[in-house]
Amino acid sequence: MSNEDTTPIATEGCACSNRRTVLRGSLAAAAAGAGSLALSGCTQQLKEENAAQKHHTGGDFTEVMASADLPVGESTQLDVDGRTLLLHREDEDNVTAYSNVCTHQGCAVEITERDGQTTYGCPCHGSHFDPVTGKPYGGPAKKPLTDFQARVDGEQILVKL
């Protein structure tokens, strides 16, 4: 015979249980709670990783257009080496370049206007992306557009492909 206490515990409105059953149930509940807490931390980390912007890591900088052809504050779409890029001239010295592939479901993003501002818009499901940061706002896309290193180099705009 064991030394364990199997004395029934009477609780109001519920069937009798022994101490072992109550302790097992309490331990199981505590383990489930700890597991949920641990998973929520992992889930948040995965959400942040999944929302992180992808950066194209390419080879060499390539001349894609004359800098005079992209005035400050304007955007353009170019096909370069089999890729469609969206370029935006922030100021005289800075230009951004992004893939035109929507991060939601892969549709082709286009240069559009929203509320009087230039934006990159997806015609499939309505996502919009900021032309300076590539970050989404509005619509179902959660991840920014893939960015390409770009720069103004005198008379030319260069993009690393």
DSSP string, 53-103: PPB---S-EEEEEEGGGS-TT-EEEEEETTEEEEEEE-SSS-EEEEESB-T
Question: pTM for this one?
Answer: 0.68
pLDDT at 39 (0 to 100): 45
Q: What is the CATH number of domain 61-160?
A: 2.102.10.10
pLDDT at 8 (0 to 100): 52
**Tokens read off for 118:** 């230039």
In the chain, where are the structural domains located?
8-50, 61-160
For the chain, 161 residues long, the average pLDDT of each consecutive 10-residue run is: 51 53 55 48 51 75 97 96 95 96 96 93 96 94 95 96 90
pLDDT at 42 (0 to 100): 47
pLDDT at 41 (0 to 100): 47
pLDDT at 56 (0 to 100): 79
